[in-house]
Amino acid sequence: MRQILTGLALATLMTGGAVAQETAKASAPLVVIELFTSQGCSSCPPADALMTELSDLEGLLPLSLHVDYWDYIGWKDAFAQAKFTDRQRAYARAAGQRSIYTPQMIVQGTDHVVGFKPMKLADQIKRRQAQMSRVPMALTAVARDGMIDIMARATGPLPPQMVVQLVRFDPHERIEIRRGENAGRVVDYTNIVTEWTPVAEWDGKEALSIAVPAAGQDRSAVIVQTRGAGAIVAAVAVN
């Protein structure tokens, strides 16, 4: 499996490195990869390990959203939140799908990868990275004194209804799982989402400038997404 993961890292670096380096002085636009996972899912550890690989690459924002529908198996996932299950279901409805699965990755709010399929994921990441130079908005997010200043303005055509979201995440935790399908395993989790909060609705007609609270040690990112579990328009890490 390590060989497969390294192959994915090389594939993404080939297309993503130049874009990330050019924009490093500003808030670099990121490709968002959401992993819906659970500590109770025996198929999830390879995808969880892949998130660690992705977190080392420039230009990507991998986020682990732990769902709660595996908790009944015998191990309660302490990271799970019902609203992350709701988010996954919203993506399924938007795509016309009746079922949800773990592991599942969603790239930039639109591309779905069910199961552990690193090469399919690599193809989708490369396609989205190729579009980074055409992001139709300028987005910055800067932390100061327990607040985050978010500024956005249109640089091209935008969707008429967008949601500005603050995401907080824990970079790493190692968990010993004692019961359920993964009993006896020790699993490393990366970029575990602790909060996913809508902070503004925006139509892109006027420049946006807001300040939102963000206390604590968790890292932060800002994601602007088309309303209704639609495409992610832009995302940046908080400087």
Q: What fold does the segment set 2-237 form as a domain?
A: Glutaredoxin (3.40.30)
Closest CA to 189 of 110, 60, 103, 106: 103
Please give the C-alpha separations between residue 14 and each of 17, 19, 122, 128, 130, in angstroms, as whole numbers: 6, 10, 11, 13, 11
What is the per-residue pLDDT across 40-59, written as a single tens digit (0 to 9) for each? Answer: 999 999 999 999 999 999 99
Closest alpha carbon to 107 in 21, 45, 39, 16 = 16
pLDDT at 222 over 90: yes
Read off the pTM: 0.90
pLDDT in tens, 81-99: 999 999 999 999 999 999 9
> Distance between CA 13 and CA 152 in Å, rounded?
27
